[in-house]
Amino acid sequence: MKRILLIVMAICMAAATGVSAKGGLTVANRAQNQDTIVIKMANGAKMILQLQNMQQLEAFQNYSLDSLMHELNKYVKQVDKMEGATAQDGKTKQMTVTFNTKENEADGTEEVTVTIQETDAKGKVTKEHHQVKLGKNIKIDVEIDEDVDTTKVNVGDQDEDADDDKPEVYKATRFNFDIDLGLNTFIDKEDALFVPDLKPMGSRYVSLNSHMISQIGGQKSPFYLVSGVEFAFNNYMFDKNYIIQDTENDVTEFVKVADISYEKSKLATSSINVPLMPMLKFKRANGKDGFHIGAGGFAGYRLGSHSKVKYEQEGNSTKDKDRGSFNLSDFQYGATGVIGYNNFSMFVKYNMNDLFKEARGPQVNVISFGFRLLN
């Protein structure tokens, strides 16, 4: 019985340590596409490995029992103690031997536990059942029946609730990276300088966001506070052959050009923004994320700007770019909101400050709206 138990422990150690074979056929080499592996011992005992599918052999294909035997010497005394404990007084006992395959448990040590579970009326161990869990995916059940000298090893996936005993670590604050993709539009005042219409598909808004999401009021609270850093890129594509330029009086205005047909005329800006938005997030009955809605404000600073035009000249495509400031406001602020369900979200941003500095350009505000990805 001791030899059988040692061999079972060797199999468990092989799966836990990942020791490679150094000669001879491995288990997978012998098995090929079989579902059941029968190994006959020198003393007539049989070892049977039963597997649900061939993928489960991947954990054993590079392992060899021969290269593991030297590891078993230090466990012989523990096995003797297990066998002798029940025979002393004839009473049913349960003995457990637990050993680590690595000295440093911080390396992800796998523990193998062997437990005597069944005895007969006289206290003699006649049948044993052992369960070994390796990582999160592999479970090995070992049954030893001394009456028929048979050892059965069943290898299978762990139950879905195998890790339920490990409590989840609750974090009130987490970080999330998401992307806003949308469009821009102008809102101008009636008595302001002329502002051209924008081409919708060319007036794109993109923002790369690193958000810090903090839950307020405990693990079951629906109240959250969103902050972080956003890098926003605004494109304003002008329609009907309008361009943006500075006049001699250092005033920015939009001008329609008659002698050149522009394929593209746009203004592009980049900025860094810091939002602060309270949000309500509700859970569904199954515990997954449900409806969420939030509204708050943001403040930011313009990082750069440029205009770009593209047109045909003497049969050649020409592009002109002007990296001027165009009297754009450096600081910006406004309101922002988000609404969605589960991972689907839509956002809207309204710049309450004028796009241009006071008395230096048209009085116009910007609205950006679209979808939030990776939320």
Residue 104 CA to residue 109 CA, distance in Å, equals: 7
Mean pLDDT of the chain: 76
Q: Which neighbouring-strand residues pair with 321?
A: 308
pLDDT of residue 315: 80
Report the range of poorest mean pLDDT among 39-53, 230-244, 306-320. Answer: 39-53
Per-residue pLDDT tens for 119-164?
A: 555 555 556 656 666 555 556 666 666 555 555 556 555 554 545 5
Phi, psi of 90 (to 5 degrees): 75, 5
Share of the chain above pLDDT 70, in %: 56
Q: Does 28 score more than 50 pLDDT?
A: no
Q: How far is CA 170 from the centre of its chain?
A: 16
pLDDT of residue 163: 52
CB 211, CB 336: distance < 8 Å: no
pLDDT of residue 30: 44
Instruction: Give the DSSP per-residue string, 35-56.
Output: SEEEEE-TTS-EEEEEESSGGG
The pairing of beta strand 223-237 with beta strand 204-215: antiparallel
Q: Which neighbouring-strand residues pair with 274?
A: 299
Report the range of poorest mean pLDDT among 4-18, 174-188, 267-281, 283-297. Answer: 4-18
With 0.75 as the threshold, say if the pTM is over it.
Answer: no
Residue 71 CA to residue 65 CA, distance in Å, equals: 10
pLDDT of residue 25: 45
Q: What is the mean pLDDT of residues 37-63?
A: 66
Query: Which pLDDT band holds residue 21 (cuts at 50, 70, 90)?
Result: very low
Per-residue pLDDT tens for 335-349?
A: 999 999 998 999 999
